[in-house]
Structure 1
Amino acid sequence: MSSESRPKRARLISTKSNLPPRERVSALTGQARLDTNLSQTSHPSQYQRQPRLRPQPQPQLQPHSQLQTHQGFGTLSNDLDLGGPSFLLRGLYSSPCLSHAAHADVRTQPDQTSYTSVNDSGLSLHGDSIPDGVGLEMPVPNGNTDNPSAPLSDDLDDYWYALTHLEMVLRLDDKLFVFQDWDSEHQCLKIGKYEHISFLPEGPATFTVSCTCPSYKTREDCRHCHIFVRYHVDCMLLECIVRAPLPDAVLLHVTPYRKKYIFSSTSGSSSERYHSTKRAIVSLRKDGRWQCDSCGFSDSCKHRPQAKAFLVKAKFIEDGAEEVEDDGNDLDEGEDEEDELLGRAISGRGDVGARGSVSHIMVLPPRWCASPHEMAYFVPKVDPMQMSTFPINPISARCSCGLSLVDAQNLHHMDLLPATFQPAILFHTAFSSEVVVEVVPCPRCRHARRHIGPDLSEFGIFNWNNTMLFTHDLLNEYTSTYTASETPFSAFCLTRRRAYEEQSASMKFCSNETFVRVWFSFVKLQALDSGMACSTCGDQPDIVIADGISLGTHVSKVTSHVKPPTFLDTQSERIESISSYIAQCLPTIPKQTERNFVKKILNLTSGAYTLDAVTHEVNASTIPSKHPELYNFILLYISIGCYEFGFIRIRSLWVGPNNDLRPLLFKSYRNLLEQISAPDIVLQLVPYRAIDTLNKIKDTGIVPDWFQRDFPAFGVVAEVHRRSHTDLPAALRVLAGWLASRATEVYMRLARHDPSPPNYNLQSAASQDWYKTGTYYGLPAVRSRRSRADGRLQQVLQDVL
């Protein structure tokens, strides 16, 4: 399809690089190499619609293998095994998304089943089922994309168009997807920004969708969820880009931008004892720094080790390397603004910005926060509007890397180029102006955008990077606003943009991210410290504990006017014991000694063990007689963990030497047993809505796909059996019935009827002076409360005043 005949829809921002098309990755030789599939991606012509007017031209689409490096790992083979499930260099299928049309043509790999049309294959894009082998059974969604909070339909169509044509809908497993994020303002995909989308079946006919983006975390609604609900059939037809089981780190993309290697990584290795499957996007930047969407730039990030081990194992980087090798295809990092600037500045982990600012001379504090005897009170104001050209000062000029003009003349005089003048923008409090700055190319950086420039502090100007200048009045105004009221950066930048628009509609203020970096660099040059500091932690402690207000009143402060809004009568329930966990037997295993014994079994099986020794320990306990259902499950658990016994007797629980799922099965059993032995209430493990399903599992042995949402630990066990194509063992079915009975027993014990209606005449409250106490504990009593055996609050205490 030519660019002239293609409808002009959303801008497709290509991350094309000039990598050789026939690189390969070989685990045998230890050299990195890529197998690139150069076949063009076919898209059905039925998807074409009437073009929408866009001011920007439509770029020429490139083959997917040239746009996305994750395409180029070739077909799956056992030769790409780099050392276990955590370090498999996974091949990604060439699986273009289906268009949302009445007749879709799905072209698959030769070894895959091909569906030529909807009518021929019986595949209905709007139905509620998918042929076997293509994906999960697709229930009808309960989402509604027509609600007022949903994104506009045209915007979703543009987003989906860009995702499908650049093939940035990545399916990790049956229920986990990765979408590249969308910029609604510029109508393009965000470079280096990805989100995890989870498909969560709730029942046989409904499902929900969750996302890791900030919008979903705040209001449980985002464009990623809406687009998945709208095109869920197309998404579920995609092949998984990696083979099961899902590795700890999956390389999603290699870009020529600042974020070079982008991963989907778990928060711990699958070989660890405590392992979480929750994933986050982790990227290795060109400057050698790791960035995590969850942990930022923290050195204690738990998602980073898995991704780093992947790159080291694949020979992409050397172990301990601090810099990423430059292949000559990287773009200028100024074109990619993807940093968490505010979090980085507040945390104090390094400088704000990769190099710093050009201005470096200390700046006096503003007059309003200076004492009359301080120098700042007598510093005259200089109007920067009096000058439009700023020559370089040989004494104070320097580059953002820290190299001064004097040092450059002394150390790099042979490489020093002549000074030139370049345009810059000067940001004032209410408008911006164009100025000219004299600069000298930096001989150390050797970069087109890095020059030695003037400091300009004598003119009341802060030189950020020789192209963006800020007046001291503008930066001091935010300091004044922030100290007077808690004004966020975004709010202050919004007020500046409105002020700029009053001057001219074409006048633009800088971005929020840039202003954050500039302001933090500026205040570093000011002496604004108050002198308050901790003797141990210094002036910037990592943890600050603030005082709070209690919602209740202590019993010692209760008087005839300040008392709980309840009363005691003859109908009040009497509490004999406060220890509810011991008295009411709320945990799954009631007795603590029995729970401790199960934990002992878990400790014995944490390493190598023999079957006879552990079985003898189990038989010597009270578990077989008091909890036979749990006893059978423990025997099954220790049998799978013992290699010799499992290899000979339980061969049906795993599938062949090339796809051994027994470690995952043992780990899922262990996790379930750990949660059963926890001292928490059983309803925390088994919610009330899961009781009926557990009883059905006991009778039929069939676990629904959506059960993991209600009972995660049991659902993971069932999922591993589903992957290994094995039936649920009888011991697990019996255990499901026992868990259901325990949850029902505790629920009925804790069930309470609705409280009796208030028997207090609220009309008489107006005659009381309870409002004079200044607390809600002075409100009139409206309901009875339970009485306690220790006698506290049995009668109203007399006033002590």
Structure 2
Amino acid sequence: MQEQIPSWDSAGADLDLGSEPTWSSPERPPQSSETVPQDLHEPGYSEFCESIQEEGGAFYQIGGDLFVVNGWDPQKKISKSSWHHLQRTTIGDSLVTVCQCPLSRPDGACVHQQFLTDYGEELFLFDAAFTNETEAVLFSQQELQEDIYLNHFPSTSPNSRSLGGRVIVEYSGDDTGSGRWVCAKDSGTHSCSHINKCQDLLQRLDPNQEIVPRGRRVALERGAVSYLPISPPLWASLESDPQLYERSPALEAAPEPLWLTETSSCCCSDPRRLFDMSCPIVRMQCTVYGLHRAWETTIKLQACSNSSCRHRFIGPDGREHGIFNYNNRRLFSHDLLDEYTSAYTSSETPFSAWVSVVSRRYKVHSGPLSFVTAEAFQDVWFAYVKLQYLDGSMMCPRCGPSPENTIWDGVTLAFNRKHLLPTLEPPTTMQPESVERTTTRYISNQQLLVDRKIRRLVRRVITGTPLTMEALKRGIRGVQPEADDEGEDEDEDEDEDDEHTEGTGSRAERVAARARAEMLERLNAIPVALEGLNQVCLSLGRLFDTNFGEGAVALNKIAPDVYRRFFIQISAEESVIQMTTKPAQDALEAFVTAPTARNASMLVEIPAVHELLSYEKGLGNAFPDITVDVCRWILNRGRAVLNSLIKGPQPPELLDSGVQKPWEQTGCCYGLAKIRERPQYPKLKHNVSNDVGGKRGAKCSKFYSQYGERHLTGGIMCVWCTHSICYGFHCIPKGEGRNDVFSALITRWEKAPKRVIYDFACALGPYCMTREPAFFCNTQFLIDDFHSVGHTKCSPAAFLKSHCNVDPRLAYINSSAGECGNSGLGRIRKSVSYMSQARAILYSRVFLCIWNRQRIQALHKP
């Protein structure tokens, strides 16, 4: 049995230090040549593999046996901007690889050839779709700025299809081909046959569709050596966070040699292979990157016993020392990685800009080692935050797990569509086991007044300048003093523009004529509107006649605004359920049964009725019978519509508690677990396909710009509580629609919230009530104050501010919580647009968790 390995603070004087490892137990040599990793004998190869893993270097497969690779600098151990072709083939029983790079020799393999030999069977299986092309193809496209791309094409010579006849052509510009062309072989642009081929290819591509590169970029998928959960940053910690380990102070000096412990492991397999005290141990040099400088130190490692593990070791985790072990060669302090989290959650800070700042900081502190590249740090940071404990952040301590007031908002936080993976599964996704609602159909004529003509006439009478006899007489006389004055000016000054003056006068006459015709039209509409209201409810007709009838016009009576707002609501072009939810109907029933002041005060969910009753209560001790009768008619109409909707099936049954799909893949990250599948509604023609982007609803005049820029996905849908704490989000593949809010609610809320505040709530309410009325019958769908200005055709019942006028308790609702969060997420919009799907999801989640934690901390302050 080998001796106990010393602790972190102990020194291993019996072991030699240096870049080459020495076995701590000479009597236990490696069992095979595979035990000593090859990268130890070929300096630079491990760094090349890491470069491919970190996407600092590129390795593209453009054919079944043909590849394009970045050049490699063996001295600096970094990728170069040059490109080379690489080909593999089988001759007899031998696998032959040939590379065009300067490092390749007949008697020795370059790093590209060695990488293809080691990982060819794992990463580069033959694919019929990747047959070798004799013409030019586009294998790489990187967006430099909006609509400007850096493109790379491999091209063959006119008289040669061999490896030596292939060259790389680079083009930077837009998709028209009018940018800058460079050939790696020929300097002339117009005479170069390679460039001409690539120009022809670019012209053949459809400019109206996204250009998808044909090449397939490969990279090693490696996890970090560190794997234990890491505590959140100290400045973002909550009292409810578990104590994972004792925090160590910030790293200010060179750390002691890193020793193996019982938690040390290798990242090559799952479950991980842990440290075995009976096996030999080696020492190697590593670099630890701190906040101000980097240090070289010694790390104890153990060769991994996994036969398929190449160039990897079992290494210490390091979290108890505030160190994140990425790959046993590069280690990073927690305070350094948390520093970037602090930066990008506070202001717009891309990785490249932050790395530049840290690199300058390293130079200021005169450290001997420079900082890593932006690509390398990006990989390290994402591996780090995957382990960081940020759970428990998506819930407000005051609103609880199911807030009764929710604010929904779509955010243009999107990544490129070419990174969209089939694993993305928003709540709108239909599952095979989803229940089908074959009886769910559209129900027409849900308005309070069924007759459309009567609704239009009522609005015609009450809209505009108050209609009185005095106003009618003024309009009929058509006195236009402005026009007379213009005539006098014309006589006094013959040099005036006669044509202009005559045009002004005729225009004034036309305006006056239209005003007279409009007032007469409104006056003639009164009898027809009154007759229609009498047929629906005699008391409603009497209430209209008293305030807006011909008698009121003759007496020059101007109706109080409460009656005008009341009849605007009565004649609204929307479902009566928007005005009277089930709780509102219950309160209305209590009032018509016993019309007392107390019961009237409970009608705050129906602002138009509440304001009318409050006004009439101020005029006398009792409510007029006609008003009570009108309330009874509203109740009966609301009950009838709600019963016609609810007669369908009840909400879907809850799912059996099982394994939830990981949010990293589905892009659906909520504090509430999925408890239902979204039902299917085959009888509804606008179920899914016609509910994204563009004009969102025919009865609402609000238009929405297309979410996301060209080539991007549809952004994310977020839900907030009134304290601006995000309860979750999901990625939208194409464009935002009502389906996103509906599906998130039905799949994750056991009980629908009391209020759903959304910028398109006027159409979201009918959408939800048509599909699941039993689930949403107690919910109010309201438009926040910020967006209500643009909804000119929606009734006041759809506006949150209308309800705030009669219920002061709603003043605590921060309806702009979504906009505040949207503004914050704008800091990462540019960075996310360049990321892959997995990283965009993780980057957004970390931002929102930090956002929530800071607001939860503020709530706990006295």
TM, length-normalised to structure 2:
0.28
Indicate the structure with greater helix content. 2
Higher radius of gyration, 1 or 2 = 2
RCO comparison, higher one (Cα < 8 Å, 6+)? 2
How does the TM-score come out when normalised to structure 1?
0.30
